[in-house]
Chains A and B, each alone.
Chain A
Amino acid sequence: MNKRYYYLITIICVVFLVVLGFLRFRQEEEVTSEQFLMDTLVSIRVTGDEQEKLQEAVQKAFGEMKRIEELTDRFQAAGSSSCTSEICRVNSAAGKQAQVVDSDVFTMLVLAKEYADLSGGAFDITIGPLLDLWGFGKAEQKVPSAEDIKKALALVDYRELVLDDTDNSVLLKKTGMSLDLGGIAKGYAAGKALQVLQEHGVKSALLNAGGNISVWGQKADKKPWMIGIQDPRDPGEVIGALTLNNESAVTSGDYNRYFIYKGRRYHHIISPFTGYPADKNMSVTVVASDPGIADILSTTLFVLDYTKGLQIVEKLEGVDALFVTADRKIVISSGLKEKFTIKQGKDYTYEESGLVSSN
């Protein structure tokens, strides 16, 4: 055989090896990491050019969430003798004096009050006394007496929370009032973490904070992000899927945290109107570009009847919601028509928002 023939084969082989190596090099790196934070499991998956940079970005993002957690934690940490967070400081000064707080805490409180106003009190971060009464977050839960609930309800009123933006000071007017940021802190922290990831130049990010999902950027395979929505009565199934793009999906459900007392199930989302677990919906999923807003609204809408919920959502720009109502209806707001695909139809009836034109 001809010598030139071998040369040619060799050259071709070398060229391919080089090209292949180059492709490998250009391929996106991926980092996935998990941490227990904010009373849940937080997992972050990012893609980008360099492994080390990605690792750093993820650790910084976790650090940011940890910081928010420490600012907002309402309960004393194991091993420490007292609770020293910003929120604890405000709570123990209730009825006495205003406390100057960290700017992130202040921002959260302002947001919380805005959405409390907007929802007529369906979202209320002064719900602390009620949650304490029910015992969520503690070792023992019980069904309180109607009288105790009435007493606690009298202490729940966001209008008695005074925010002064000249010096970021916060005052709860009545003694015994207390803040609980459970309906906002996780989402707000997710927003801060996403910001950190973006500043570190990640190409895409998937943040899962205990079922609160945020996606950013484009996946390596260029396909859209597909996020399933869990069936509230069958955790192994989804009722459908959302196609998201730089958005967050946050769900509030009656199935995540509950206790059983005398054969009845009591879950952890307490209505600030009644003082009892909200019973209008099995779950509400909110899609918004800001995970903090999505978090607030999923809790807000959960305690409301879906017709009222839809009225709120349809007025807000770039916010959508999906309700699985107590009577097994799946209802979506107008903006989800293109983003949501129904999967599980047999146990539920499905309707797209009929309220679109009425607003």
Chain B
Amino acid sequence: MKKADWFLVISIALLALIFTAFNKHVFFRAGDVTQETKAVIKVQGEKIKEMSLPLKEKHYKLEVQGKEGIAVIEFQDKQVRMYESPCAEQICVQRSWISSPGESIICVPNEIVVEIESAKQPYDAVTY
């Protein structure tokens, strides 16, 4: 092999190495740039629906069957709230609109969770 061939082989190898070492970071960065925000709806620990925010419709109501009964989740622009819930204390309805990544509405008796997720969440968790 010629000197130039060796050069080519080594450069390819080096490039591959660098890419392998950094690809995780590269992909993560790429994910951050799009910053897609979505509302994730879970019933009894199972994810049942994901909605990208803002929705195409300006206003949208979604009926979800929970443990105790049917809950109505309302979407408006970038915001989500529990519009109606069959539970006794109505804590989830009082929680009102949520829109920032990491925020959530939790209805304990009806076992429904609505969470705002985004690739870029600055904290591992929030204490409240």
- A contacts, CB < 8 Å to B: 2, 4-5, 8-9, 12, 16, 19-20, 23, 33-36, 39-41, 138-139, 206, 208, 210-213, 215, 219, 225-230, 235-238, 241-242, 249-251, 253, 256-259, 283, 285
Contact = CB atoms under 8 A, between A and B. Distances in A.
Given A16-B16, A211-B127, A226-B122, A34 B42 contact: yes
27 contacts: A2-B5, A5-B1, A5-B9, A12-B13, A16-B13, A23-B20, A36-B44, A36-B45, A40-B108, A138-B88, A139-B89, A206-B125, A211-B126, A213-B126, A227-B124, A227-B127, A228-B102, A228-B122, A229-B126, A229-B127, A230-B127, A236-B98, A236-B100, A236-B103, A238-B126, A251-B127, A285-B127
A14 to B, nearest CB: 12
Interface residues of B, number: 31
Contacts of B126: 211, 213, 227-230, 238
Interface string B28-61: 0000000000000010110000000000000000
Contacts of A236: 98-100, 103
A210 B95 CA distance: 14
Contacts of B111: 36
Interface of B: 1, 5, 9, 12-13, 16, 20, 42, 44-45, 88-89, 91, 94-95, 98-100, 102-103, 106, 108, 111, 113, 122-128
A258 B128 CA distance: 14
Given A12-B12, A16-B20, A236-B100, A228 B123 contact: yes
B113 A226 contact: no
A246 to B, nearest CB: 14
Contact of A226 (B1, B5, B100, B124): B124
A230 B126 CA distance: 6
Given A12-B9, A139-B89, A236-B99, A35 B45 contact: yes
B96 to A, nearest CB: 8
B91 A227 contact: no
A257 B128 contact: no
Nearest to B95: A235
Contact of B125 (A35, A41, A228, A257): A228
Contacts of B128: 211, 229-230, 235, 251, 253, 256, 283
Given A2-B1, A236-B103, A33 B45 contact: yes
A250 B125 CA distance: 12
A39 B108 contact: yes
Nearest to B106: A41
Contacts of A230: 126-128
A87 to B, nearest CB: 19
Contacts of A215: 124
Among A5, A215, A242, the one with the most B-chain Cβ atoms within 10 Å of its Cβ is: A5
B128 to A, nearest CB: 4
Contacts of A41: 106, 108, 113
Nearest to B25: A221
A251 B1 CA distance: 69
B82 to A, nearest CB: 13
Contacts of A208: 125
A33 B46 CA distance: 9
A257 B91 contact: yes
Contacts of A257: 89, 91
Contacts of B88: 138-139
Among all A-B residue pairs, the 7 with the closest Cβ atoms: A230-B128, A211-B128, A228-B123, A139-B88, A236-B100, A228-B126, A249-B127
Nearest to B12: A12
Given A34-B42, A237-B100, A228 B13 contact: no
Given A4-B1, A16-B20, A219 B124 contact: yes
A20 B20 contact: yes
Contacts of B102: 228
